[in-house]
Amino acid sequence: MSLLAQVRLTRGSLELDVEVAADEGEVVAVLGPNGAGKSSLLRALAGLLPLAQGQITLDGTVLEDPGKNIFVPPEQRPVGMVFQDYLLFPHLSVLENVAFGLRSRRVPAARARARGWLERVGLTDLADVRPAALSGGQAQRVALARALATDPRLLLLDEPLSALDVTTRSETRRDLRRHLATVSGIRLVVTHDPLEAMALADRLIVIEGGRLVQSGPAAEVTARPRSRYVADLVGVNLFSGRARGTQVELVTGCALTVGDQAQADVFVVVHPRAVAVFRQRPDGTPRNVWPLRASDIDLHGDRVRVRLVGAVTIVAEVTPAALADLGLADGREVWAAVKATETSVYPA
C-alpha cells in the first residue's frame, strides 16, 4: 500500500512539479515557505485541483492521469483532509460534523461510529455543541476525528497547528502525534514549522517554488540542508561551491577552508556558534578569517545572532555580554573567524 504521485500543474503564477512517494504507515512532512505549493500539492492529491500532467496512484489504483483521461472525483477517493481553518460545518453539531463523511458514504450506524471517534479524541461531552463554541484545540480535534472517521488510506493535514496560539500548539502537537500514530495508512502533513515537522514526521520533503528541493529522514535533512530555506529554518549558515581538497571555492568567489576532503560541487554548513568575532584581525589557527561588517542583530533566547556581511555573508552567535564588550552595533567593522574543523561539508 503506497502513494506514488507525480504532480504537475500551474496555479496562477505557481508552477508545481513535484514527485511524492510514501509507504504505508509513513508520516511525511511537507515543508516549505509560503507560496511554495504545499497546499496546492495536498489539494491535487485530494482531487480538488486537477493535474495538468502526471499521475496519482494510491494502493495500486490510479486516481488521476490526465494523459489517459482518468480522474476519480474527490468524493470517491479514499483520502481524508484536515484543513488549515478546520472548516467544520457551522450549521451542524460536532457529532453531525464527525458523522458527515460516514453518512455521505452511507455507512450504517454512522452516528454511533462518530460518537466512538469523539471518544477517541476525548470530546464526548461536546457532541451537541456547535463549532462556533469550540476552542482552537477542540476544533482541531473535531476536524481530525471527522477526517479519520471515514478511514482514509491517505490522510492529508494542511498546517494542522498553525491556527492555534503558541501555548496550545505544543500540547496539541503532542496529542496530534499520538492520534496520528494510532492511524494506519499514509499521512502527509504540511507545515512551515520545522519543529512540527520533526515532531510529527519520519520523513521530510522540502518544496520551494513549486519544486522538490530535498527529501529524506528528518534528522538528515536538518543536519544537511540543501537549500537556504532549510538552512534558515534550522538556523545554520549554508554555503555552496566547488571543492578541491580542503579548499572550497564559493559561488561568490571567496574561498573556504574545510576540515574534510571533498571534490566537485558541495554544500558547507557552519553553525553560528562556530563563528568567532574579533575587533581586530585575529592571529591564530582558524583558516577562515574575513573582514566583515555587522548588519542585523537579533536576540534568540539568551544568545544574540549577528548577521555579518562582506566577502561572505555569515551569521554569528554570541552572548549578550560579548556583544556589549565588542561594542557590536549596526555597521561596525569586525573580523570573523571559523575553524576549518567546525565546518561540515557534503556533496550537493
Partner 1 sequence: MGRGRRPVPLPIGILAGASAAFFILPLIGLILRAPWAELWPDLTAPESLLALRLSLVASLSATALALILGLPLAWIYARVVFPGRTVLRALTTLPMVLPPVVGGVALLMAFGRRGLLGQVLDAAFGIRLPFTTAGAVLAETFVAMPFLVLTVEAGLRSMDRRYEDAARTLGAGRWTVLRRVTLPLVAPSLFAGAVLCWARALGEFGATITFAGNFPGRTQTLPLAVYLALETRPDAAILLSLVLLVVSLVVLVVLRDRWLGSA
**Residue 46 interacts with partner 1 (CB under 8 A): yes or no:** yes
Sign of dihedral through CA atoms 263, 267, 271, 274? positive
Report the residue number, 78 or 235, with the smaller CB distance to partner 1.
Answer: 78
**Residue 300 interacts with partner 1 (CB under 8 A): yes or no:** no
CA gap 221, 124 in Å, rounded: 40
> Distance of CA 156 to CAs 143, 147, 214, 236, Å?
12, 9, 20, 30
Rounded to 5°, the CA angle 55-61-67 comes to 30
Minimum distance, C-beta of residue 142 to partner 1, in the bound complex (Å): 12
Cell output for 64: 488521476
**Residue 79 interacts with partner 1 (CB under 8 A): yes or no:** yes
CA gap 149, 102 in Å, rounded: 7
**Residue 87 interacts with partner 1 (CB under 8 A): yes or no:** yes
Candidates 66, 74, 259, 291; binder of partner 1 (CB under 8 A) is 74
CA gap 15, 220 in Å, rounded: 27
Count of other CB atoms within 10 angstroms of residue 322: 16
- 133: helix, strand or coil: helix
Candidates 100, 229, 239, 267; binder of partner 1 (CB under 8 A) is 100
**Residue 105 interacts with partner 1 (CB under 8 A): yes or no:** yes
Q: Are 277 and 328 in contact (CB under 8 A)?
A: yes
User: Which one of the spans 78-86, 120-128, 254-262, 303-311 is the region binding partner 1 (CB under 8 A)?
Assistant: 78-86
**Residue 73 interacts with partner 1 (CB under 8 A): yes or no:** yes
Report the residue number, 43 or 226, with the smaller CB distance to partner 1.
Answer: 43
CA gap 140, 85 in Å, rounded: 9
Report the residue number, 77 or 203, with the smaller CB distance to partner 1.
Answer: 77
Report the residue number, 76 or 341, with the smaller CB distance to partner 1.
Answer: 76
CA gap 93, 134 in Å, rounded: 11
Window 125-164: contact mask with partner 1 (x via CB under 8 A):
---------------------xx--x--------------
DSSP string, 44-99: HHHTSS--SEEEEEETTEEEEEGGGTEE--GGGSSEEEE-TT----TTS-HHHHHH
Candidates 60, 67, 90, 108; binder of partner 1 (CB under 8 A) is 90
Candidates 54, 101, 137, 241; binder of partner 1 (CB under 8 A) is 101
User: Which one of the spans 55-63, 89-97, 201-209, 233-241 is the region binding partner 1 (CB under 8 A)?
Assistant: 89-97
User: Which one of the spans 9-17, 46-54, 223-231, 265-273 is the region binding partner 1 (CB under 8 A)?
Assistant: 46-54
Which residues contribute to the site for partner 1 (CB under 8 A)?
43, 46-48, 73-77, 79-81, 83, 85, 87, 89-91, 100-101, 104-105, 146-147, 150
